[in-house]
Chain A
Amino acid sequence: SAVISQKPSRDICQRGTSLTIQCQVDSQVTMMFWYRQQPGQSLTLIATANQGSEATYESGFVIDKFPISRPNLTFSTLTVSNMSPEDSSIYLCSVEGGSDTQYFGPGTRLTVL
């Protein structure tokens, strides 16, 4: 399985600011995914990020709010823009692992005041 790291592990941010979350994987992967887990809730897919193409966003998520970069096959970033308290969540990246399996990073716990 892939080893995935995320930075930062947690952060407390002020309303109206932006935070960029980094996801690094120890092997080359084609597909990376970003999920949001709101407090006490399950995971919801934000977008799929393939290297060399624009990210594909799920319904309810837009690029202006959650811009994503995928500069190479081992790295991706998710930015949470113009944050409000409703953005307080755990943000997780994952990578494909074959046979539809995904492996997840440890998550970034974001609190917006």
Chain B
Amino acid sequence: AQSVTQLDSHVSVSEGTPVLLRCNYSSSYSPSLFWYVQHPNKGLQLLLKYTSAATLVKGINGFEAEFKKSETSFHLTKPSAHMSDAAEYFCVVSRGGSQGNLIFGKGTKLSVKP
């Protein structure tokens, strides 16, 4: 069965410093992995996705994630945090096959201090 574990429920960084949001996955096959962002009182927005092409995936707003099979990790990074990055971030794995639905991690709340 597929699952994701977000290792931090809350991450706080200063504006201009790097962001690291950690995610480990479990899958019985090569998974599709995603990061979604949810700003306060807003819907979910797709940041980036990994679907077995390049292991380093670039997304919107300067975010990127690296798929590491040996570590079963898919950590999200950004070189320099901006105040507008403050939001909830979800690491997600696809159940795949004919079911097609997504399994969400518990989320990491990112705070950005001025």
Contact = CB atoms under 8 A, between A and B. Distances in A.
Interface of A: 1, 31, 33, 41-45, 48, 92, 94, 96, 99-107
Interface in B25-77: 32, 34, 36, 42-46, 49, 51
Given A106-B42, A106-B43, A96 B100 contact: yes
B77 to A, nearest CB: 21
A2 to B, nearest CB: 11
Contacts of B90: 42-43
Interface of B: 32, 34, 36, 42-46, 49, 51, 90, 94, 96, 99-107
A48 B104 contact: no
B14 to A, nearest CB: 25
Contacts, number: 54
A101 B43 CA distance: 15
Contacts of A105: 43
Given A99-B32, A100-B32, A101-B34, A45 B42 contact: no
Contacts of B100: 31, 33, 48, 96, 100
B46 A1 contact: yes
A43 B44 CA distance: 10
Contact of A45 (B32, B45, B51, B102): B102
A44 B106 CA distance: 10
Contacts of A106: 42-43
A99 B52 CA distance: 10
Given A99-B51, A104-B43, 17 more contacts: A1-B46, A33-B100, A41-B106, A42-B90, A42-B106, A43-B44, A43-B104, A45-B101, A45-B102, A45-B103, A48-B100, A99-B32, A100-B34, A100-B100, A101-B49, A106-B43, A107-B43
